[in-house]
Chains A and B, each alone.
Chain A
């Protein structure tokens, strides 16, 4: 009998301890982030999906050596060990036929500056640098202007 009682008491204590853990008060101290204000113990609802901008002309670059951004949708385009969908148009073999921008010769170079006969493995994964654009609004204001030499009319 005594054993059962002790077991019950212990279980009760454990249960109340668990309950206490879940009831830890949360206070973000009034901090607001760019995503709005949210308490730590509350999961904030996700933002709406942004829509990827559909086909358009190549977008202007803002600084020298900026990787050009992708002015079209890339849903389902596979770039992996087996295949590279980007190079089916942007590869030198197909660029003339498809009217796509050719891959820059810098992509054929190894890190030691040796030129290879094909796209270098370190430049193979296009979307590490080149990304499509969405219709999202900037979170903070920005008055950055491209240098004059890059500004297209």
Chain B
């Protein structure tokens, strides 16, 4: 009985040094893990990482290089994650978890040739358009803020659409601006296309 009591006492009253060590270990461990997690997260959020696979490097990246988001007069660029990964933490994590499916796709080689890529282009594009439509083109708006658009600097065609459909929230960026960074799939049956 005494032995049991002793053991209970030892367990229920840890020494002062013990508490300190546990706290210190926990703290450094936390710093290391959280830091490492964030580093890994930001490392996988770069153009170099995205174009590390030939599926991206040989298809969408090459198409994107001809567009205004890659090269323009002022040199401001939107890289892959700027459009395809949300900026705020919650949505970013959700997107990152969903992206694990893309790793599986890479391992199984679902789009590892140009032909396979073209066959899947429409379904992949539709998925991305649906995501953008669903979040009111959130990633576009990280840079293109409607509040600060100067209609007097826009072309008359842009003003007409931006001041009506976009202003009222009836349409969002991606409704009209499809295929601005990559080649389009067969647009048959897509709203707004012939």
Tell me if A76 and B180 are in contact (CB < 8 A): yes
Q: Once the chains are docked, how many angstroms separate the CA of A89 from the CA of B194?
A: 9
**Any chain B CB within 8 A of the CB of A87?**
yes
Set of chain B residues within 8 Å of A87, measured between Cβ atoms: 193-194
Across the two chains, which residue of chain B brings its CB closest to A93?
A: B194
Q: How many chain B residues touch A (Cβ–Cβ < 8 Å)? A: 19
**Any chain B CB within 8 A of the CB of A135?**
no
Q: Which of B67, B68, B176, B193 is packed against the most chain A CB atoms within 10 Å?
A: B193
Interface residues on A, range: 20 to 34
**Any chain B CB within 8 A of the CB of A78?**
yes
Tell me if B194 and A54 are in contact (CB < 8 A): no
Set of chain A residues within 8 Å of B192, measured between Cβ atoms: 88, 94
Set of chain B residues within 8 Å of A142, measured between Cβ atoms: none
**Taking the nearest CB of chain A, how far is it from the CB of B122, in angstroms?**
9
**Any chain B CB within 8 A of the CB of A107?**
no
Tell me if A78 and B157 are in contact (CB < 8 A): no
* A76 in contact with B67 given A83-B187, A84-B194, A88-B194 (CB within 8 Å): yes
* A55 in contact with B194 given A76-B67, A78-B184, A83-B187 (CB within 8 Å): no
A contacts with B: majority SS: loop
**Taking the nearest CB of chain B, how far is it from the CB of A15, in angstroms?**
41
Tell me if B194 and A76 are in contact (CB < 8 A): no
**Any chain B CB within 8 A of the CB of A111?**
no
Tell me if A91 and B155 are in contact (CB < 8 A): no
Tell me if A91 and B194 are in contact (CB < 8 A): yes
**Taking the nearest CB of chain A, how far is it from the CB of B80, in angstroms?**
18
Between-chain CB contacts (< 8 Å), 16 pairs: A54-B155, A75-B68, A78-B179, A78-B183, A81-B186, A82-B185, A82-B186, A83-B179, A83-B184, A83-B186, A83-B187, A87-B194, A88-B176, A88-B194, A89-B157, A98-B157
Q: A73-B155, A119-B194 are in contact. List 6 more A-B contacts (CB 8 A).
A: A55-B155, A75-B68, A82-B187, A83-B187, A84-B193, A98-B157
